């Protein structure tokens, strides 16, 4: 874990000096005002939002996979993101004058209710094929998504909606990303609850046997997921499949003991998004490939790979 942490720190520091505007550590040390402005208004917020979004969304995926006992469930494949977007849109229509906190709160309610609905359906479905479940989730999500699109057309809000569709860090500047900090204490809570999530992942009966209140653990987990998802959609936009691939790769090598893999998942999530973002920044320099696209392409590729290689002993 230490070496990954070191790698993350080095890359994070280096990423501060990658961008259209030339910026070097020497200028910063020299106290150049313009350099400091670029650094504080744009580069640092961008890095912080990458680190927080990458790690928190990955942790959400890990929690969801654990609670549903299914490797393919994540904020994307369970429709959580779609519900959060619908919630945001509804808040824009119904409470146009409300501040971002109120909007986020409404998105949280939608994301929580939608994910809970999905989990309830999952509980009832007898046919527990691990592929079948996320397909239901994706379908669910698409239905919700089309409702959102319909409403957006009707109320002429398509433009603001597209901002939540594709994740983009280039707009992360001072004043736009601060809400992401909400995710930090949530990650800490997730770590405190890690053992309980693992136990809940053993099923309701085993959890009860060990004296754990299964229902309340599931609700706690889903609430964390809903808040992180809503905040992410509102600030960065969607990072598709992130919550699916990062936890899957980590647990493939390190197992499902959450106390152990949760910090690793956070580091890998941040690292993965950081690499994708830096790649997006330099690939067609001086233009940028939005992060949603990079993560989505790499993510769906890895998702396909996981589907194909799913062997009996792993899934």
Partner 1 sequence: MVEVKQVLKRYGGKTVIDRVSLSVPRRKLTSLIGPNGAGKSTLLSMMSRLIPKDGGEIWIEGKEIARYRTEELAKKISILKQSNHIAARLTVHELVSFGRFPYSRGRLTRQDRDYVREAIRYMELEPLQDRYMDELSGGQRQRAYIAMVLAQDTDYIFLDEPLNNLDMKHAVQMMEVLRKLVDELGKTIVMVMHDINFASCYSDYMVALKDGAVVCEGDVSSIMRDEVLRGIYDLDVRVQTIENRRICVYF
Kindly indicate which of the ranges 96-104, 140-148, 200-208, 222-230 contains the residues binding partner 1, using the contact rule CB under 8 A. Answer: 200-208
The residue within the footprint of partner 1, chosen from 92, 212, 218, 228 (CB under 8 A), is 212
When binding is defined by CB under 8 A, the residue of 168, 256, 277, 288 that contacts partner 1 is: 256
Q: How far is CA 230 from the centre of its chain?
A: 9
Closest CA to 165 of 137, 199, 142: 142
Residue (42 or 265) nearer to partner 1, CB: 265
Contact between 209 and partner 1 by CB under 8 A: the answer reads yes
Q: Does 255 bind partner 1 (CB under 8 A)?
A: yes
Q: Find the distance separating the first CA and the last CA of the chain, reported in whole Å.
A: 25
301 binds partner 1 (CB under 8 A): no
Cα dihedral angle (32, 34, 35, 39), rounded to 10 degrees?
130
Residue placing its CB nearer to partner 1 in the complex, 189 or 210 = 210
| Dist. CA 171–CA 277, nearest whole Å | 13
φ/ψ (deg, to 5) at 9: -65, -45
Q: Does 155 bind partner 1 (CB under 8 A)?
A: no
DSSP label at 255?
-
Give the 3-state secondary structure of residue 35.
Answer: helix
Residue count, binding to partner 1 (CB under 8 A):
26
Instruction: Rule CB under 8 A: say whether 77 interacts with partner 1.
Output: no
- Asked if 127 interacts with partner 1 (CB under 8 A), we say no
What tokens does 110 get? 């939608």
Q: Among 66, 74, 183, 229, which residue interacts with partner 1 (rule: CB under 8 A)? A: 66
CB of 264 to partner 1, least distance (A): 14
Confirm or reject binding of residue 167 to partner 1 (CB under 8 A): no
Q: Is 230 in the site for partner 1 (CB under 8 A)?
A: no
CB of 314 to partner 1, least distance (A): 8
Contact 199, 189 (CB under 8 A): no
Q: Which residues contact 24 (CB under 8 A, 6 or more apart)?
A: 17, 35
Secondary element (H or E) of residue 58: helix 44-68
Binders in 7-36 for partner 1, by CB under 8 A: none
Binding part of the chain for partner 1, among 15-23, 146-154, 210-218, 275-283 by CB under 8 A, reads 210-218
Q: How crowded is residue 272: how many other Cβ atoms within 10 Å of its Cβ?
A: 22
How many Cβ atoms from other residues are within 10 Å of residue 294's Cβ?
22
Smallest distance from partner 1 to CB 210, Å: 5
Number of H helices and number of E strands within the chain?
15, 0
Out of 44, 195, 223, 302, the residue judged to bind partner 1 by CB under 8 A: 195
- The piece of 9-17, 62-70, 96-104, 168-176 that touches partner 1 (CB under 8 A) is 62-70
**199 near partner 1 (CB under 8 A):** yes
d(CA 216, CA 222): 10
Considering only 139-147, 239-247, 249-257, 270-278, which stretch makes contact with partner 1 by CB under 8 A?
Answer: 249-257
Question: What does the CA dihedral 168, 172, 176, 180 come to, rounded to 10 degrees?
Answer: 80
At 275, list the tokens. 């690499």
Residues interacting with partner 1, by CB under 8 A? 66, 69-70, 194-196, 198-199, 201-203, 205-206, 208-213, 251, 255-257, 259, 313-314
């Amino acid at each position: 874990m230490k070496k990954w942490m070191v790698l993350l720190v080095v890359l994070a520091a280096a990423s501060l000096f990658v961008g259209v505007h030339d910026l070097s550590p020497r200028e910063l040390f020299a106290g150049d005002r313009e350099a400091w402005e670029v650094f504080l208004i744009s580069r640092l917020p961008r890095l912080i939002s990458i680190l927080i979004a990458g790690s928190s969304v990955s942790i959400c995926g890990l929690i969801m996979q654990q609670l549903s006992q299914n490797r393919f469930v994540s904020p994307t494949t369970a429709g959580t993101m779609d519900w959060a977007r619908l919630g945001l849109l509804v808040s824009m229509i119904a409470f146009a004058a409300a501040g971002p906190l109120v909007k986020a709160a409404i998105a949280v309610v939608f994301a929580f209710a939608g994910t809970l609905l999905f989990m309830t359906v999952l509980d009832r479905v007898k046919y527990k094929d691990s592929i079948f479940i996320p397909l239901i989730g994706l379908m669910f999500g698409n239905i919700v998504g089309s409702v959102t699109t319909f409403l957006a057309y009707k109320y002429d809000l398509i433009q603001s909606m597209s901002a939540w569709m594709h994740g983009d860090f280039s707009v992360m500047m001072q004043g736009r990303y601060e809400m992401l900090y909400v995710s930090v204490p949530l990650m800490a809570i997730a770590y405190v609850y890690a053992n309980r999530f693992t136990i809940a992942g053993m099923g309701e009966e085993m959890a009860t046997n060990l004296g754990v209140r299964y229902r309340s653990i599931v609700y706690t987990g889903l609430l964390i997921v809903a808040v992180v998802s809503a905040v992410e959609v509102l600030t960065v936009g969607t990072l598709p499949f992130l919550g699916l691939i990062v936890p899957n790769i980590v647990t493939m090598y390190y197992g499902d003991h959450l106390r152990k893999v949760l910090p690793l998942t956070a580091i890998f999530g941040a690292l993965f998004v950081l690499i994708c973002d830096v790649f997006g920044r330099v690939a067609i320099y001086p233009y940028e490939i939005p992060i949603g696209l990079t993560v989505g392409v790499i993510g769906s590729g890895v998702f396909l790979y996981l589907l194909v290689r799913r062997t009996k002993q792993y899934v």
